[in-house]
Amino acid sequence: MKQQGRKAGRECPHCGEAVGADAIICPHCVGPLPKPEGQDDAGDATTEVPQAPEAEPVAPSAIIPSEFGDEDEDVEEEPEDEATEPSLPIPASEEPAADADHLKPAPPPPPPSAPPTAQPAYQPVAPPQQFGNAPFWPRVAAMIIDGLVLMVPIGLLIGVQFVLEEAGGISEEDPLAVGLTLLSQLLMVLVQVGYHTIMNGAYGATLGKMALGMRVVRADGTPIGYGLALGRILLQMVLGNCTCSLFYISVATNDEYRGWHDQIVGTRVIYVR
């Protein structure tokens, strides 16, 4: 049994920390404690405390108690080389300097492409060399077709003149008959001029040329318009009256089948089909 008169607490002679009255080893420095005073001799005889070699004092913070006891011996430690260190962001001051090429400013963007030009309202026909100039005999055939077309209104004018002369009993020597003849001829000229001007100016071809797949254009292949169509037919009629229509031979002798009237006003007759 323990003695009733032993002290309640004491100090470790090695580290000076307070220890229990019954402790035999200091829990702080693991040093052996002296035998408490007044302890029963019988207890000393039966219980022999091994004397541990004196050790140097160890700081309390260096003693880390094991939470798992002897089980730590069975756990194999992983090699330090295989441990993966957490990746930490590199401070801006420690980042490697960028290459000089990366510091160069980016090239300026290419200039914007020019907007597409507006297409003209009228698309000119292809150049004459693509279709070919209409030769002499097809143009003669077109003139014959146009003559047949013009015979209808001109025949009506001649018929009206004949009816007026017969109804009024006007003789050929009568001045009124001469006046009617001049008026009828003037109307015939207006019909021919109007026919060629309107058809060539609006469609680029008369009915005879349309039937044969021809078209009257400028020398560069663009439409002639009403003004050039009017000048062309007037020049054609003047040359025809002055040469008895022999000037049409110039169409056959020219390399591009352009008659005198075509060369003067700058036109040509081409195939479009």
* CA-based R_g, the chain, Å: 65
Residues facing residue 218 across a β-bridge: 267
According to the model, what pLDDT value does residue 166 have?
82
Residues facing residue 10 across a β-bridge: 19
State how far the Cα of 89 lies from the Cα of 97, in Å rounded to an integer: 16
User: Left, alpha or beta for 269 (phi > 0: left; psi -120 to 50: alpha)?
Assistant: beta
According to the model, what pLDDT value does residue 225 have?
94
The DSSP annotation for 34-83 comes to PPPTT--HHHHHH--PPPPPP-----GGG----SSGGGGGGSPPPPGGGP
Q: What pTM was estimated for this model as a whole?
A: 0.51
According to the model, what pLDDT value does residue 102 have?
57
According to the model, what pLDDT value does residue 32 have?
80
Structure-token pair, residue 56: 């140097």
According to the model, what pLDDT value does residue 123 have?
55
Q: What is the dihedral of CA 53, 54, 59, 65, to 10 degrees?
A: 20
Residues in the chain with pLDDT values less than 50: 1-8, 40-49, 60-75, 81-83, 92-95, 98, 126-129
According to the model, what pLDDT value does residue 266 have?
94
State how far the Cα of 145 lies from the Cα of 6, in Å rounded to an integer: 154
According to the model, what pLDDT value does residue 128 have?
41
